[in-house]
């Protein structure tokens, strides 16, 4: 349930991974040189049909961090006219800071209008404590807590990423950074899939805003006084997020390759040193009749130092 803004990355052509495990007839995660570990599971259309997982190579380095969804679970979720939110812990992997997944089905998409207002999934990969994310909340019916005014250090910025404007702090999530060069910002290009970064300042006390800002509630909407939050003055990255449309996932499943891999830019630092992905893959695993959304091609990134 993303109500803020996101980012778009690769185009919509269904181009599979070259030379890898693109074959639709076998499970690319059932390989002799890879260690596979399941995380937490949820039951949607059957018992434990959505789960998190990780794979490592013989050197115990991460190769995939993923969310597995059976086709039955996919069909059950996409048939629902109301949004659905799941939280599932990732398995522990040495060198990976990722903690839990937030999976959101958005049947009508979400703002901005005519960009992401298409039925899609938000696959949040958090690398902060779940309880801290749950604490990003205030009373009231609005989906956001207020507006961020803290700074985000330059080291946390991937190339071409910018703040959303206004900088809404989405409840139980944070704010979102998006790629201003992404294809779907062109009105002639349909939204298929994209990748965003999340940020927040955990020094914020949601009950103690630092000021107010008058903003319209939607295009042409009435003005509202919204709280602003400076916190300690410096925010941090909190998650990475592939956003993938229902239609694109179906197209991938119907394609010859059965997968699409997209390169993503990295910042020069993260809050915690570790392995972070330089690509993500939307994959249909024909032998299991399931989808796997995976972060891949991990590289080591140092921790931020002021």
Render pLDDT for 233-280 as a digit per residue (tens, 0 to 9).
999 999 999 999 999 999 999 999 999 999 999 999 999 999 999 999
- Asked whether residue 238 is domain-assigned, the answer is yes
Model pLDDT, residue 141:
87
- Asked whether residue 74 is domain-assigned, the answer is yes
Report the distance separating Cα 54 and Cα 63, nearest Å: 8
- Asked whether residue 277 is domain-assigned, the answer is yes
- Asked whether residue 306 is domain-assigned, the answer is no
Please give the model's pTM, rounded to 2 decimal places.
Answer: 0.89
Model pLDDT, residue 28:
67
- Asked whether residue 143 is domain-assigned, the answer is yes
Of the candidate ranges 27-36, 101-110, 136-145, the one whose mean pLDDT is the lowest: 27-36
Tens-digit pLDDT profile for residues 219-230: 777 898 999 999
- Asked whether residue 14 is domain-assigned, the answer is no
The parent domain of residue 159 ranges over 35-301
Domain count, the chain: 1
- Asked whether residue 15 is domain-assigned, the answer is no
- Asked whether residue 19 is domain-assigned, the answer is no
Tens-digit pLDDT profile for residues 89-113: 999 999 999 999 999 998 987 777 7
Report the distance separating Cα 84 and Cα 49, nearest Å: 15
Buried b / exposed e over 179-207, threshold 16 CB at 10 Å, is: beebbbbeeeeebbbbbbbbbbbbebebe
């Amino acid at each position: 349930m993303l109500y803020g803004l996101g980012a778009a990355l690769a185009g919509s052509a269904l181009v599979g991974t070259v030379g890898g495990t693109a074959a639709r007839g076998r499970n690319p995660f059932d390989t002799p040189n890879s260690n596979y570990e399941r995380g937490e599971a949820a039951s949607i259309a059957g018992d434990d049909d959505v789960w998190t997982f990780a794979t490592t190579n013989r050197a115990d380095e991460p190769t995939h961090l993923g969310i597995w969804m059976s086709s039955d679970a996919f069909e059950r979720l996409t048939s629902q006219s109301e949004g659905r939110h799941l939280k599932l812990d990732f398995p522990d992997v040495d060198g990976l800071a990722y903690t839990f997944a937030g999976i959101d089905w958005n049947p009508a998409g979400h703002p901005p209008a005519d960009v992401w207002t298409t039925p899609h999934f938000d696959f949040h990969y958090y690398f902060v404590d779940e309880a801290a994310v749950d604490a990003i909340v205030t009373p009231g019916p609005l989906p956001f807590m207020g507006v961020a005014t803290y700074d985000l250090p330059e080291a946390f910025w991937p190339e071409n990423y910018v703040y959303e404007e206004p900088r809404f702090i989405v409840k139980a999530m944070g704010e979102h950074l998006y790629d201003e060069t992404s294809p779907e910002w062109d009105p002639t290009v349909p939204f298929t899939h994209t990748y965003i970064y999340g940020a927040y300042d955990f020094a914020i006390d949601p009950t103690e805003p630092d000021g107010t800002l008058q903003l319209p509630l939607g295009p042409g909407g009435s003005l509202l006084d919204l709280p602003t939050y400076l916190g300690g003055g410096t925010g941090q990255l909190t998650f990475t997020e592939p956003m993938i449309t229902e239609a694109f996932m179906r197209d991938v499943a119907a394609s010859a390759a059965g997968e699409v891999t997209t390169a993503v830019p990295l910042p020069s630092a993260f809050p915690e040193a570790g392995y972070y992905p330089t690509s993500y893959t939307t994959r249909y695993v024909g032998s299991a009749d399931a989808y796997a959304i995976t972060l891949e091609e991990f590289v080591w990134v140092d921790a931020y130092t002021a």
